[in-house]
Amino acid sequence: MKNFELINHPFEPIFDKNSKILILGSMPSEMSRKANMYYGNPKNRFWKVLSIILNSPYPETNEDKINLVKKNHIALWDVLSSCEIRGASDSSIKNPTINDFKIITDNAKIKAVFTLGKTATNLYQKYTGEKSIYLPSTSPANCAITETELINQFRQILQYL
């Protein structure tokens, strides 16, 4: 079993002044950090599900992914700025430090905050005291939920865009 590793969040948030919703994960996985992009694991279903509900072509490059979310008024970031974690296991997170969301909320008109997965939801609500709208994790580890179910759950973001 892997040891705990201190991870400092490696990416800036993706947003602009036109962002209307904020989607937050917990912390980028090792594969995402290597790909230098949110949800960078090729088996993660985030980009596929998002492109389907937005009726857009699948974004192949990191630049395409950034353009997809900005064009659709979506901000992307993660709840944590740092934590100790074992591999990519959200359930192993300890000593979390939360990001300062004012970087986004002070510079965009965010109507809703969505959190991906139970860990991101619990951490966000615990450390901000605010509610978020839960979306199931798109991680390949969350194989209990089908792609169709993910698409149906993700469609709720459309009412805020």
* Catalytic positions: 44
What are 20's two structure tokens?
Answer: 């209307």
How many Å apart are CA 41 and CA 46, to the nearest integer? 10
Here the tokens at position 1 are 């079993």
Give CA–CA dist 128/61, Å, rounded.
33
Burial annotation 27-44 (CB, 10 A radius, 16+ → b, else e): bbbebbbebebbbbbeeb
